[in-house]
Structures are given as C-alpha cells and as structure tokens.
Amino acid sequence: MAVRKSGLGRGLDALIPAESAVQGYTSIPLDAISPNPQQPRQAIAAEALQGLAASIREVGVLQPIVVRHGEEPGTFVLIAGERRWRAARLAGLKEIAALVREGDDTSGLAEALVENVQREDLTPLEEAAAYRQLLEDCGLTHEEVGARVGRSRPAITNTLRLLQLPASIQGLLAQGELTAGHCRAVLALDDMAYAEELARRAAEEGWPVRRLEEAVRARQEGLPPPVRVRRERPAEVLALEEWLAERLEAPVAIEYGKRGGGRLTVRFGSLEDLERIYRALLGD
C-alpha cells in the first residue's frame, strides 16, 4: 500500500488554515528534522510506535508536528510531535507535514486547533487527531479540551478512543465503509484480531450499527458468531474476477462495500509466484 504524505480529506487545511495564528505549515523531509534535546519524554514504547506507524500507512498523518528552524539552513528542531516523527520514519515516509514556528512558543497552536474543530466538518479521525494534539502538544486535559470545544469530557474520551483502533479498522472508517458508531462498538472487544474480523464483515455485508453491537455482545457472552450473509455480486464483477484470475494464473477475489470502496486480493504461493504475477501485470 502506498504511504500517504498527508492526512485525510482536507487534512491540514481543515485543521490549521493559512489565516490562523500559527505562522504556517509545510512539508519537511524527515531527515532534516532533529529531536529536541530538551524533550522531557525519554522513552517511547516500541509497541505504541509500531501501532502509530501502521495507522500512518493506512490513513496518513492526521496531525502536523511543530518545529522551529535549526542552526543550519534547511534544518529544523522538533518542538512537539516526536512520536509522530518517529512513527512516520517507521512507516516509510520521506516527508511530514509540520507547523514552523519561531522559537519554542506554541501558544497560538491551541487557539488555532480549537477554532477549526468548532467550525469545520472534520472526519471522526481528524477530530480525534485534533483532540490528541491538544492533549499532547498543548498540555490540556480531557476536561479542558471539552470546555474549549463545547463537548463533554466523556465525548472527548470516546472520540479519542478511535485512535486506539487497529489500522485496518481506521482505514475502513476513513474510506466510509464504517461509521464512528461501528468503530465504537468493536472497541468494547478485548480481542482486537476478532474486532478486525467483525469490522471487515460489517463493511463487506453492510451491517447496521445495531447488528454489529449484537455481534460484539454475542462474543462477550460466549455465543456463536453471526451467520455470514453473502451479498449477490453483479455478473460484471464475477466476470472481471474470473478474467483476472486467468490472466494472472492466481486466485483473485474482489470485495466491495455498499458505499463504493473495496478490496482486490491476489493470492500467491511463494516469492517466485509473486514475481511471476508482477511480470504478468507488466505484460512481460
């Protein structure tokens, strides 16, 4: 999967407009950025970084980091966002969106973020990312974030929990295959592997939120999983699936949701088989 260089939808334009109090943002090479030697956080859990990197591969960077100019031309020093910077490197990004400020002052960042959360129709993940930035980069509490954006503390906490979802579920949410209600339902599960399976089925079969909640409840009570309902696929899709399988000499599956997105899967048995499929795609 190609790594995206920015967040979803309007991305930074939605969170930090040009006319805001922040000096400005740009895309900066990761290698041009150095960590802040005065960063109070001395250790970042590897597991947390891997999870954030997976999310970045799936939906992109939803929050800009904050930097200042370094001593050498073309270099920058982190003010805020070291987790995102390190995770972006793990995800394979070469550049990252950043807010460039003079000195170490981030006082205008909170006001700019709050203003845009209140006036923009953000996606659920963009909203959650903005809240997390207010917490991590601006040092606010859940209560303070809620007071500034006009929402209750539980509402802030529940929205932030969307960022705890596995990357695959975040991707379904970002693509419109699932709603925030679907995602909050699977967050009740302890087994995230099973949560991913349920979320995928819900997207493929067009489950309403209520049905997914019932499936989660059944899992918690030790009941059998819901019976899979296979939607009839158009003849054109079946024909295309068959043609691709013959062309690539490999099993092919086309899956799609009710809202237009989907997945094309090509299975291979070995690296040599993968190379053969690759050459077939190139027409060699």
Taking only the tens place, the pLDDT of each residue in 10-58 is 444 444 444 433 445 688 999 999 887 655 454 567 777 888 888 888 8
Taking only the tens place, the pLDDT of each residue in 83-106 is 889 999 999 999 998 888 776 555
Whose tokens are 């690296």? That residue is 271
Q: Give the H or E element holding residue 68.
A: strand 65-69
Identify the three-state secondary structure at position 168.
helix
Confidence grade of residue 257 (pLDDT, cut at 50, 70, 90): low
Facing residues of 76 across strands? 33, 69
Domains of the chain: 12-162 (3.90.1530.30), 177-220 (no CATH), 235-282 (no CATH)
- Residues annotated as catalytic are 82
**Between 191 and 228, where is the model more confident?**
191
> pTM here?
0.60
Burial class (CB in 10 A: 0-12, 13-18, 19+), 60: buried
- pLDDT, residue 228, reads 58
Q: What percent of the chain has pLDDT over 90?
A: 15
Look up residue 284 and give its two tokens: 């060699």
